[in-house]
A and B are shown apart, each in its own frame.
Chain A
Amino acid sequence: MGNEQNTFRVVGTRPVRPDGVDKVTGRAEFGADHQLPGMLVGVVVRSPHAHARIKSIDVSAARAVPGVLAVVTAADLVDLPSELSSGGEAPINFRHVSHNVIARDKALYEGHAVAALAATSTAIAAAAAALIKVDYEVLPHVIDVLEAMREGAPLLHPDLFTTGVTPTPTTASNVAGVTEFALGDIAKGFAEAEVIIEREYTTQPVHQGYIEPHAVTATFGADGTASVWCSSQGQFMVREFCAKLMGMDIGQIRVIPLEIGGGFGGKTTVYLEPLALALSRQSGRPVKMVMSRGDVFKATGPTSGTHVKIKLGAKRDGTFTAGEMTLKYQAGAYPGSPAFLGGMTGLTPYLFEHAKATCYDVVSNRPKSAAYRAPGAPMAAFGVESAIDELAQQLNIDPLELRLKNAATTGMRTLYGAKLPVVGYVETLEAAKAHPHYSAPLGPNQGRGIASGFWFNIGGPSSAAIHVNEDGTVEVVTGNPDIGGSRASMAMMAAEVLGIDFAHVKPTIGDTAQIAYSFLTGGSRVTFATGKAVIEAAEATVLQLCGRAAKMWKVEPYEVEWRAGSAHCTRVDDTTRAPVTLAEIAHQAGRTGGPISGNVSINAAGAGPGFGTHLCDVEVDPETGSVKIIRYTAIQDVGRAIHPAYVEGQLQGGAVQGIGWALNEAYLYDEKGCLLNSGFLDYRMPVASDLPMIDTVLVEVPNPGHPFGVRGVGEVPIVPPLAAVANAVSRATGVRMTDLPLSPPHVLAQLDRAKTAG
């Protein structure tokens, strides 16, 4: 089945999602909703200091409280060696994961877990937690990325030596690593330039902001086996991470995925799960733990704050000659910022013969950064796309035309070396140009910004099982949590291949004992990769169905063809064998060889990269500095939209997260390194009244690596908005905005400064 098939029966329609009724009636079970008999309440004691040595922890008073049944510290988890482990997918240092779950020796940020306990009620747990005495030696701390890089800055890890530089350093540093990408000869590229823009940009750390706090219920049995119910982006990830941190075999842990109330990358690691397991092991009782919103802000996520330097060179006609990025990203308390991903994505929308990126991964006394939608890409794109806008202004070229002139096309060599497969970036630019938004008139104090963005999208290990029920209805089991409607797209792809009604297909997310390993829901991979597994499982099922029909007809399997949900005999002049439907074959399954099912596990390759282009109109109040988004259009090459409404939803949601990043969201610290705005009142995410409708255009340039042409879509939409908004504000005010967020006081200060200077 290839891309030549362009008449779909189910793909491209907009059915009601299979899990919809449960979610509009309150029946769906999310992370905090699971209950077990005899369940204890677990709470975490967290460091009030940004950086402190833990001299001792006295839990005796807490343990003595009636109703307290378990108290754990880092000593209850395995003391893992510091090494990169390549289990699962990307290499991970599980010592860091473990230390982030619960501090060992040192607390590295305010909110860092230092102890946990379980008690028979919330009130007892809270009272007992206050009795845990931690003797801290408070150490000097460092919050800012540039300060952390300075010589003499407080060191977080005495054993951290910068990787990626020669010679290998002999003194410890907060710079965990430097990654460099180079293409051509950067000096030659700038020598050829007739115009050069060089600017520095900053972005603040922002939280993924999922509405559902982390929650887990765990039970540890006397036989050493454990079950974990939680919401995460991957039940297999939770299982693997818990096994490593607890020193258990993977087979001893079963993880049952509950509905996930948003993740955006923030639920691709563990926080509470190992603690709940340790508490359950000690108490012999099930333990439930739910984070408060304050804990979510202080101890999970966010993505990196960054300092980005961009240098672009171009000819007078707009042809780019060179591009250079210096990216300094906060990793938080442990190494692992997505700086290198900024380096691999920022310049990719454009053809550069000469380009370079130098990416610094820097630790500081903040929560360990976690993945956030297209990790690392929005910050680099903010710099590059802002610089291109300024270049367009200097050269007096339309910013869309300037992008078109230099746009990446299929086969272009990227800064990270590989050539691009089939991509549709130019198509998004053409769609933007043709959109009425681009030529709509603007009023006073209004400005229009345009920006583009790139994300790779990934594939990876994915499993699917299809079971044909006795009456011809069909079960589809996959191993990926449904974070935004993927059950619908799985069922639609299965229905498409099987030729049956969408309503007859029931998708289920299997737990770790019910379906084979699947890499987590992330990297915009599920509809692509797990979808590919579903399609192959459906094709395997069709083969069996044809085989059964052949048996029923006493013909050879090759004489049977599957069309529109029925087996057809291909023998010419045979009128005795009328087509039989899937349901009819299912009824006879017992008599023709037993149940019919298709099981497929693949390591999906062929992910198609995505490009998006956003248009944003703002109105700036020159008196207050307040920015109002008055019109917004998100355009993206989505390959093929399986369920267009949920694809549009990805574009709209990503755009609005980016708008929040651009306009208001930021982590604010006091002089002691303590977070000042750890709640939704002061950490200002966009609300409905802040926004207009978000218009979308789905451009479909099919990905040849997927039978239906699917590309991942979830991450690209958060890449362009930072620059789209900032470019709009810059054009509305005539003042170039290089530092986010563009909150009213900040915008006003920039306007005042420009007035004074001008």
Chain B
Amino acid sequence: MALVILQSDFARRYTGGQTQIEVNASDYRSLVAGLERRYPGLAEQLSLGMAVAIDGEIFQTPLLEAVGPDSEVHFLPVIGGG
């Protein structure tokens, strides 16, 4: 099971305060689908301006990125630059 860790602020708003969620998923898409089943509406939030860090590597436009059974997953704002 991959471990999704949410910012407490984000968790307060969308998961009733739950910051650590275990999800059975093989890629980003199935991970988000798993989260959506538990917290309806979360997928839309994640699709708007959220990047993902899977085991430390940041993906700005994720969809098919692999998620391992021991992966640690964080959501963060999309990063731009100058």
- A residues near B (Cβ < 8 Å) are 84, 86, 89-91, 164, 166, 179-182, 208, 263-266, 268, 338, 340-341, 344, 371-375, 411, 416-421, 455-461, 522-525, 603, 605-607, 705, 714-715
User: Which residues of the partner chain A approach B13 to less than 8 Å between Cβ atoms?
Assistant: 164, 166
CB distance from A257 to the nearest CB of B (A): 18
Q: Closest CB-CB distance, B78 to chain A, in whole Å?
A: 4
Given contacts A179-B77, A417-B53, A418-B53, contact A460 B60 (CB under 8 A): yes
Question: Beyond A179-B77, A418-B74, is A89–B60 a contact (Cβ under 8 Å)?
Answer: yes
Nearest-Cβ distance from residue B7 to partner chain A, whole angstroms:
6
Q: Are B60 and A459 in contact (CB under 8 A)?
A: yes
How far in angstroms is the closest Cβ of chain B from A408? 13
B58: which A residues are within 8 A, CB to CB? 418, 456, 458, 605, 607
Chain B residues lying within 8 Å of A714, measured Cβ to Cβ, are 82
B27 to chain A minimum Cβ distance, whole angstroms, is 14
Least CB separation from B13: chain A residue: A166
Contacts of A417 in B (CB 8 A): 5, 7, 53, 74-76
Contact between chains at B61 and A523 (CB < 8 Å)? no
Sample of 6 further A-B pairs with CB below 8 A, known A265-B82, A458-B80, A525-B81:
A181-B7, A411-B56, A416-B7, A522-B82, A523-B79, A607-B58
With A86-B49, A166-B13, A180-B9: A421-B78 Cβ-Cβ less than 8 Å = no
A523 lies within 8 A of B78 (CB): no
In the complex, which residues of chain B have a beta carbon less than 8 angstroms from the beta carbon of A461?
Answer: 61
Q: Which residues of B contact A341 (CB under 8 A)?
A: 77, 79-80
Q: Is B22 an interface residue (CB 8 A)?
A: no
Chain A positions within 8 Å of B56 at CB level: 411, 418-421
The complex places the Cα of A66 from the Cα of B61 at a distance, in Å, of: 51
A372 to B53: give the CA distance in the assembly, Å.
Answer: 24
Q: How far is the CB of B51 from chain A (nearest CB, A)?
A: 9
Across the interface, name the chain A residue whose C-beta is closest to B81: A523
Inter-chain CA distance A374–B8, complex, in Å, is: 26
- Please name 19 pairs of A and B residues whose Cβ atoms are closer than 8 Å in the assembled complex, sorted by A: A89-B60, A90-B78, A179-B77, A265-B82, A340-B77, A341-B77, A416-B7, A417-B5, A417-B53, A417-B76, A418-B53, A418-B74, A419-B53, A456-B81, A458-B60, A459-B60, A460-B61, A525-B81, A606-B57
Find out whether the CB atom of A182 lies under 8 angstroms from the CB atom of B12. Answer: no
Q: Which residues of B contact A456 (CB under 8 A)?
A: 58, 79, 81
Of chain A, the residue at the smallest CB distance from B63 is A603
Q: Please give, as numbers and ranges, the residues of chain A lying within 8 Å of B48 by CB-CB distance.
A: 84, 86, 91
Task: Evaluate whether A344 and B77 lie within 8 angstroms (CB atoms) in the complex, with A84-B49, A605-B59 already known.
Answer: yes
With A417-B74, A420-B56, A458-B60: A374-B82 Cβ-Cβ less than 8 Å? yes
A524–B61 Cα gap in the complex (Å)? 17
Complex contact A91–B79 (CB within 8 A): no
Number of B residues, CB within 8 Å of A: 28
A375 touching B81 by the CB < 8 A rule?
yes
Looking at the assembled complex, report how far the CB atom of B47 sits from the nearest CB atom of chain A, in whole angstroms.
7
Determine the chain A residues whose CB is within 8 A of the CB of B49 once the complex forms. Answer: 84, 86, 90-91
Q: CB distance A164 to B9 under 8 Å?
A: yes
Contacts of B65 in A (CB 8 A): 605
Expressed in whole angstroms, the minimum distance between the Cβ of A266 and any Cβ of chain B is 8
On whether A182 and B60 interact (CB within 8 A), knowing A344-B77, A371-B80, the answer reads no
Rounded to whole Å, the gap between the CB of B6 and the closest CB of chain A is: 8
Residue of B nearest to A163 (CB): B13
Q: How long is the Cα–Cα vector from A208 to B47 in the complex, in angstroms?
A: 31
Q: Is the CB of A418 within 8 A of B76?
A: yes
Q: Are B8 and A182 in contact (CB under 8 A)?
A: yes
B72 touches A419 (CB 8 A): yes
User: Across the interface, which residues of A come within 8 angstroms of B82, CB to CB?
Assistant: 208, 263-266, 268, 371-375, 522-523, 714-715
Chain A residue nearest in CB terms to B72: A419
**A522 with B81, Cβ < 8 A, contacts A86-B48, A166-B13, A181-B7 known:** yes
Residue of B nearest to A524 (CB): B81
Task: Tell me, yes or no, whether B36 is within 8 Å of chain A by CB.
Answer: no
Q: In the complex, which of the residues B7, B58, B65, B74 has the most CB atoms of chain A within 10 Å of its own CB atom?
A: B58
CA distance A459 to B79 in the complex (A): 10
Distance from B74 Cβ to chain A, minimum over Cβ atoms (Å): 3
Contact A522:B60 (CB < 8 A) given known A180-B7, A417-B53: no
CB distance from B75 to the nearest CB of A (A): 8
Task: Write out the residue numbers on chain B whose beta carbons fall within 8 Å of the beta carbon of A524.
Answer: 81
Q: Is the CB of A179 within 8 A of B47?
A: no
Residue of B nearest to A264 (CB): B82
Q: Which of B60, B61, B76 has the most CB atoms of chain A within a 10 A radius of its CB?
A: B60
